């Protein structure tokens, strides 16, 4: 499943109709969750029946396409399933008990309630809300995909406008020539990543660079009267600045992961528990700004697309153990050079990257030949990974 994203171009009145569609979807989702709370052994089919009852009870809810109402109920049941999965897995901390949504930003259709024009550049919503026809602004061509392959159409509201995402049921695979290289990656705050060859990628620190502008925009919001039109405008400007930082971070993570995957046949990285690491108040902002989790997700996804082997290993003692002799050399975070009694002197992060690579090779049972290269066969992995690819039209922030 891949996702193609376009910006919706329409009239202001049409955007207000989309807001009504999103509010209705939120109402259906919250009502479905309330029904689950009040009854036992609720199944998805029960929530579908509840959607039909709500459509009869509320005339404005009937305007939303029936499949869109079902998709809203599915959001509620997915939240319930995630909660039980966390409980069964004995996940530490809060398990994510389903909550009522107050500020939903999207509405999802299935295979009805919308229609694409013959040129695939215009989208019309055909349900009771009658939002009308929107122009699609984007670089990806929908002509490559049959209408039957589009399984979901999701309308998303962001600070800089309204977008539509087409979820297409196709497999994405890319063919590249084997490189015969293996690489271990250690992510950090000084450098975004350091590999086992000693090469580094600078940390862009997008949030840190934008903090001054964000503070200024936040002060403007605070000075405006609550409920006023000027406050809404100031909130929108603040949201646009945050959206720009988010897009910069995502773009950097994708491009960096793509370079790593294309350059090597075997990639090893640390399986960091970022959720626990951000509890450190002194480093939380810097860790969040680095977006390690997003980078790891794209590594895994692109590894599947390009048929490469991507392995996550436990991070314990990768910085402390010597990559040459295996002795444990205790060091604090401020010590950036690894010095071992065996004579090994390396950058701390490169030493960790070498340990990560060695761990991954042992974990997968891959042996090193006499030339020092790993005997691997990373080809033939063409199964699509369950992560969605988003292709935006162009940067707008």
Residue 369, pLDDT score: 46
pLDDT at 26 > cutoff 80 = yes
Digit-coded pLDDT (tens) for 276-306: 888 888 889 999 999 999 999 999 999 999 9
Burial (CB count <10 Å: 0-12, 13-18, 19+), residue 64: buried
Residue 90, pLDDT score: 85
Digit-coded pLDDT (tens) for 145-201: 888 899 999 999 999 999 999 999 988 888 888 888 999 999 999 899 999 898 999
SS3 117: coil
Kindly state the tokens that stand for 116.
């694409």
Listed in sequence order, the residues at least 6 apart from 341 whose beta carbon sits closer than 8 Å to its beta carbon are: 327
Residue 381, pLDDT score: 33
Which of 108, 195, 270, 289 is the catalytic position?
A: 270
Burial (CB count <10 Å: 0-12, 13-18, 19+), residue 311: buried
Decide which of 1.10.3210, 3.30.420, 3.30.70, 1.10.3470 is the CATH code for 182-203+246-381.
3.30.420
Digit-coded pLDDT (tens) for 110-158: 999 999 998 899 999 999 999 999 999 998 888 888 888 999 999 999 9
Digit-coded pLDDT (tens) for 348-380: 899 999 999 999 998 887 655 433 444 444 333
Q: In the predicted model, what is the mean pLDDT of the chain?
A: 87
Cβ pair 35, 47 in contact under 8 A: yes
Q: Is the pTM of this model over 0.75?
A: yes
Give dist(CA 167, CA 394) in Å, integer.
Answer: 19
What is the percent of the chain where pLDDT is above 90?
A: 64
Which of 5, 108, 186, 321 is the catalytic position?
A: 186
Residue 191, pLDDT score: 92
Give dist(CA 393, CA 397) in Å, integer.
Answer: 12
Q: Domain residues of the chain, as ranges?
A: 2-168, 182-203+246-381
Q: Is 349 one of the catalytic residues?
A: yes
Residue 145, pLDDT score: 87
Single out the residue of 165, 172, 171 nearest to residue 71, CA to CA.
Answer: 165
Which of the pair, 333 or 19, is modelled with greater confidence?
19
Paired residues of 123 in beta bridges: 116, 134
Digit-coded pLDDT (tens) for 56-92: 999 999 999 999 999 999 999 999 999 999 999 888 7
Give dist(CA 70, CA 284) in Å, integer.
Answer: 38
Give dist(CA 234, CA 361) in Å, integer.
Answer: 52
pLDDT at 242 > cutoff 50 = yes
Residue 128, pLDDT score: 92
SS3 339: strand
Cβ pair 299, 267 in contact under 8 A: yes
The DSSP result for 134-195, as a single string, is EEEE-SS-GGGS-GGGEEEEEEEEETTEEEEEEEE-------------EEEEEE-SSEEEEE
Digit-coded pLDDT (tens) for 210-226: 999 999 999 999 999 99
Give dist(CA 334, CA 282) in Å, integer.
Answer: 14
List the alpha helices (DSSP H) in the chain.
12-38, 44-57, 59-62, 66-88, 206-223, 229-263, 274-277, 284-290, 292-305, 348-364
Residue 255: CB atoms within 10 Å: 11
What is the percent of the chain where pLDDT is above 70?
A: 92
Kindly state the tokens that stand for 226.
């609550």
């Amino acid at each position: 499943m891949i996702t193609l994203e376009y910006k919706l171009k329409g009239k202001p009145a049409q955007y207000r109709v989309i807001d009504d569609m999103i509010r209705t979807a939120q109402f259906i989702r919250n009502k479905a969750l309330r029904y689950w709370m009040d009854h036992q052994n609720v199944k998805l089919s029960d929530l579908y029946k509840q959607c039909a009852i709500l459509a009869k009870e509320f005339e404005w809810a009937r305007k939303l396409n029936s499949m869109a109402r079902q998709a809203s109920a599915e959001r509620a049941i997915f939240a319930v399933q995630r909660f039980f999965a966390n409980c069964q897995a004995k996940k530490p901390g809060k398990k994510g008990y389903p909550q009522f949504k107050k500020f939903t930003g999207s509405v999802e259709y299935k295979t009805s309630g919308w229609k694409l024009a013959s040129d695939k550049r215009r989208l019309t919503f055909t349900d009771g809300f009658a939002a009308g026809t929107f122009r699609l602004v984007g670089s990806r061509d929908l002509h490559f995909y049959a209408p039957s392959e589009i399984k979901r159409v999701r309308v998303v509201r962001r600070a800089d406008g309204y977008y539509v995402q087409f979820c297409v049921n196709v497999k994405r695979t890319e063919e590249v020539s084997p490189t015969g290289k293996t690489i271990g990656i250690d992510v950090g705050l000084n450098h975004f990543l350091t590999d086992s060859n000693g090469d580094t990628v600078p940390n862009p620190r997008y949030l840190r660079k934008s903090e001054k502008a964000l503070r200024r925009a936040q002060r403007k919001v605070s000075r405006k009267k609550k409920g006023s039109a000027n406050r809404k405008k100031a909130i929108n400007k603040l949201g646009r600045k945050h959206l720009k930082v988010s897009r910069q971070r995502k773009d950097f993570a994708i491009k960096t992961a793509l370079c790593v995957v294309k350059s090597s046949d075997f990639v090893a990285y640390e399986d960091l528990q970022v959720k626990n690491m951000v509890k450190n108040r002194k480093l939380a902002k810097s860790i969040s700004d680095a977006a390690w989790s997003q980078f790891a997700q794209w590594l895994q996804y692109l590894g599947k697309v390009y048929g490469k082997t991507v392995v996550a290993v436990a991070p314990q003692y990768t910085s402390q153990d010597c990559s040459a002799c295996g002795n444990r050399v205790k060091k604090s975070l401020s010590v950036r050079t690894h010095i071992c009694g065996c004579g090994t002197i390396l950058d701390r992060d490169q030493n960790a990257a070498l340990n990560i690579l060695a761990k991954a090779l042992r974990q997968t049972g891959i042996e090193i030949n006499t030339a020092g290269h790993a005997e691997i066969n990373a080809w033939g992995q063409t199964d699509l990974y369950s992560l969605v690819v988003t292709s935006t039209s162009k940067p707008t922030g």
